[in-house]
A and B are shown apart, each in its own frame.
Chain A
Amino acid sequence: MSFINYSAREINCKIVFYGPGLGGKTTNLQYIYKKTNPESKGKMISLATESERTLFFDFLPLALGTIKGFKVRFHLYTVPGQVFYDASRKLILKGVDGVVFVADSQAERLEANIESVENLRKNLQEQGYSLDGLPFVVQYNKRDLPSAVSVEELNQTLNPKGAPFFEAVAPQGRGVFETLKEIAKQVILQIKKGS
């Protein structure tokens, strides 16, 4: 959960990008890294296999600015999407303040999306969280691909509770910052609520 440091006048929040393998979670972080001013970002760390599949997590620290005199830092993490890395996914969800679910819009990945969102729910529950009580944003990635399923259908299947959602083409940056902004907003409002 968020870490508020009155001495350093900082708020630190943890945002996790979740979703099926090869859905574009790492690409989201890479785009954010590429487009953020050097003074606002730290080093991006990717613990990946030799074939660039996420093995443990990607990590990107961002310091976007100040609110009420407090520097607001977001620590962005991705989880490894491949099914068999479930133990690692659980660890990364510890202390999460907000979740972005990066769905792969392609029809052939619908099953993988459903499995991943169920996995997210289950893993959060194990930690004592509920997806419905947590800042949550859905991103429908790969909208440019020909087999992309309609957003209505994706919403029905993956987002029945109607969380804010964005269409995206992550390598080109479409929808990436919109998603980040929405989850950041929800996380900060949650801190406000808890204060």
Chain B
Amino acid sequence: MPDPGLIMYEEEFKQIDAELHRLHQQANAKVAFLVDKNGQLIASVGETENLDTTSLASLTAGNIAATGGMAKLLGEKDFSVLFHEGERDNIHISLIGRVILVVIFDQRSSLGLVRLRVKKSAEMLAQILQRILQKVEQTKAPSGAGGPGKEQPKSPFAEITEDDIEKLFG
């Protein structure tokens, strides 16, 4: 079965954001962001004003997908860390389960420091993501069992009408 859609809740989003802030600060990075493997940006911190984070997210996912394809051809499961070195800026990309952590840094930091901090943050982020998955499972379970599920939060999308969709296209 394909991956179920990713759902992000307020509480976990705050935790992810806090972890990214910590990483950004401790690694002395310019930018840190988290991307879904499918290329959707989850969260970003740092000097993002002049950065096209949407495009970066999509290209990062493409990059991870391409190297993942190469890994499989070599009989590897994945290449979990990628590093691109530029004249000014460098990009450190690491795979954490179904999400990708990206850190952009310049001469104010170093690859060693970034690697170290990324490793620590990766553990924290993996735990948060695990909690999200559990939450999604719990939310889905009651309806899957056929019962109405009294504590189940009502999805705002259950009542989408054709009219709502028409309005999107003005």
Known A1-B2, A68-B157, A68-B160: A184·B38 in contact at CB below 8 Å: no
Q: Say yes or no for B55: interface residue by CB 8 A criterion.
A: yes
* B38 contact from A72, A94, A191, Cβ within 8 A: A94
Closest Cβ neighbor of A195 among chain B residues: B155
Would A59 and B66 count as touching, CB distance under 8 A? Answer: no
Chain B residue contacts of A185, Cβ below 8 A: 162, 165
Chain B residue contacts of A82, Cβ below 8 A: none
A contacts with B: majority SS: mixed
Measured CB to CB, the closest approach of chain A to B39, in angstroms, equals 6
CA distance A177 to B160 in the complex (A): 21
* A7 contact from B14, B160, B164, Cβ within 8 A: B14
Known A67-B165, A88-B66, A184-B165: A195·B5 in contact at CB below 8 Å: no
Q: Say yes or no for A175: interface residue by CB 8 A criterion.
A: no
CA distance A16 to B81 in the complex (A): 27
Would B5 and A45 count as touching, CB distance under 8 A? Answer: no
CA distance A192 to B158 in the complex (A): 5
Q: Say yes or no for A65: interface residue by CB 8 A criterion.
A: yes
Closest Cβ neighbor of A2 among chain B residues: B5
CA distance A136 to B105 in the complex (A): 41
Known A4-B8, A67-B165, A188-B160: A128·B1 in contact at CB below 8 Å: yes
CA distance A43 to B62 in the complex (A): 16
Number of interface residues of A (CB under 8 A): 48
Chain B residue contacts of A189, Cβ below 8 A: 160, 165
Would A8 and B4 count as touching, CB distance under 8 A? Answer: no
Contact with B along A1-43 (1 / 0, CB 8 A): 1111111100110100000000000000000000000000011
Known A47-B62, A185-B162: A72·B40 in contact at CB below 8 Å: no
Chain B residue contacts of A43, Cβ below 8 A: 52, 54-55
Would A3 and B40 count as touching, CB distance under 8 A? Answer: yes
* A3 contact from B10, B38, B168, B169, Cβ within 8 A: B38
Would B13 and A8 count as touching, CB distance under 8 A? Answer: yes
Known A8-B13, A42-B52, A75-B40: A68·B7 in contact at CB below 8 Å: no
CA distance A75 to B162 in the complex (A): 21
> 9 closest A-B pairs (Cβ-Cβ)?
A95-B38, A7-B13, A195-B155, A1-B5, A91-B65, A195-B157, A3-B40, A2-B5, A5-B8
Which residues of chain B have a CB within 8 Å of any CB of chain A? 1-10, 13-14, 36-40, 42, 52, 54-55, 58-59, 62, 65-66, 68-69, 155-160, 162, 164-165, 167-170
A-B contact pairs, 25 of them (CB 8 A): A2-B5, A3-B36, A3-B38, A6-B10, A12-B40, A43-B52, A57-B62, A59-B39, A64-B169, A65-B167, A67-B167, A68-B164, A72-B168, A77-B58, A91-B68, A94-B37, A94-B38, A128-B1, A129-B2, A177-B169, A188-B160, A189-B165, A191-B160, A192-B157, A194-B5
Task: List 15 additional contacts besides A1-B2, A67-B164; criterion CB under 8 Å.
Answer: A1-B4, A1-B5, A4-B6, A4-B7, A5-B8, A6-B10, A6-B13, A11-B157, A43-B52, A61-B55, A68-B159, A88-B69, A91-B65, A95-B36, A195-B156
